[in-house]
Amino acid sequence: MPELPEVEAVCRSLVDHVTGRRVVRVDIRRADIVTGDAGETALLRGRRIHSIRRHGKQIALLTGDAADAPCLCVHLGMTGSLCRRLDPPDATHCHITWRLDDGSWLVFRDPRRFGGIWTFPSPSDLAAARWSLLGDDALSVTPARLYRQLQRTRRAIKTALLDQNLLAGLGNIYVDELLFRCGIHPLTPANAVSRDQARRIVPRMRTLLRQAIAAGGSTTSDFVNADGHAGVFQTRHRVYGRAGLPCRRCGAPLETIRLAGRTTVFCTTCQRATASPTVRKSKGPASGSFLRLI
């Protein structure tokens, strides 16, 4: 499931191949995965790809910075991939294919269709409609800004960090990994995180994400970068996918709970709850188990 490191790995493996290339043809097999104008022109036919950008988990293919330079935003969702191919795509679920002027193909494939493509007349439209709504990118957020965002909600910190409008880039894997590395219980109210904790979270998050990018991301089922290569960071996960297994720090069996609809794995010994004046009254199994830990 592509999160920031996987999306960054896609961008890095793609940039040298597509930058400066002209789109000579667009094959649209499923127009319904496109939001906005789903015509070939809006999908960059005849245009030269000027640059690739990333914000959080989203990729932008730009044809320039001008107000008349159309662009695409690609979101990979759970199972999406953006791959460069030297042969025509023959796999199933290849929804959109761009033929480039060097004879290669760029293929958007997404079996589960949780991802999609958004078309915009210009980069400023993309910014206005999508990227300005997102939180800071997880690789560039400052401790002060993260602290301010966390202060605005008393949701569990895991839920808050998954919220792309609060912070862009983290998904289920890296939130669990980050909270373990910071020793923070996933049910800690976001607004109970102190300035000092925010100052510690940010560098740990950068290190985690940079290590994951260097490893090509995590491949737990089917993630591949634009060259078709899997990542290897999953071998260094400390909690994600390890429910019931011994904690790599203290040996205690890792716990699993369901939070914000996501499987959440953590160590009850190494990840402490942070006391807070704004903890809600105990109601339901989630907050109940949280209160027991204080």
The residues binding DNA (CB under 7 A) are 1, 3, 56-58, 75, 77-78, 92-93, 111-114, 152-156, 159, 162, 164, 171-173, 221-222, 260-263, 284, 286
Q: Rounded distance, CA 290 to CA 279, Å?
A: 10
Known catalytic membership, residue 143: no
Known catalytic membership, residue 30: no
State which amino acid sits at residue 165. N
Known catalytic membership, residue 262: yes
- Rounded to a whole number of angstroms, the minimum distance from the CB of residue 150 to DNA is 11
Known catalytic membership, residue 283: no
- Rounded to a whole number of angstroms, the minimum distance from the CB of residue 187 to DNA is 9
- The dihedrals phi and psi of 142, each to the nearest 5 degrees, come to -95, 155
Exactly one of 30, 113, 145, 262 is catalytic; name it.
262
- Rounded to a whole number of angstroms, the minimum distance from the CB of residue 119 to DNA is 15
- Rounded to a whole number of angstroms, the minimum distance from the CB of residue 109 to DNA is 10
- The sign of the torsion formed by the CA atoms of 261, 267, 268, 273 equals negative
Exactly one of 57, 84, 109, 242 is catalytic; name it.
57
* CB distance 108 to 27 below 8 Å: no
Q: Rounded distance, CA 240 to CA 221, Å?
A: 13
Whichever of 50 and 291 has its CB closer to DNA, that residue is 291
Whichever of 173 and 270 has its CB closer to DNA, that residue is 173
Closest to 259 (Cα-Cα) out of 188, 182, 184, 181 = 188
Whichever of 277 and 284 has its CB closer to DNA, that residue is 284
- Rounded to a whole number of angstroms, the minimum distance from the CB of residue 155 to DNA is 4
Whichever of 1 and 270 has its CB closer to DNA, that residue is 1
76 secondary structure, DSSP code: -
**SS3 state of residue 180:** helix
Element holding 196 (H helix, E strand): helix 195-214
The dihedral region occupied by 205, where left means phi > 0, alpha psi between -120 and 50, and beta the remainder, is alpha
Strand segments, DSSP code E, in the chain are 23-28, 34-35, 51-55, 58-62, 71-75, 81-85, 94-100, 105-109, 116-120, 136-137, 167-168, 255-259, 262-266
Q: What is the DSSP string of 176-187?
A: HHHHHHHTB-TT
- Rounded to a whole number of angstroms, the minimum distance from the CB of residue 234 to DNA is 12
Whichever of 103 and 261 has its CB closer to DNA, that residue is 261
Exactly one of 2, 5, 89, 123 is catalytic; name it.
2
Whichever of 33 and 69 has its CB closer to DNA, that residue is 33
What amino acid positions are annotated as catalytic residues?
A: 2-3, 57, 262
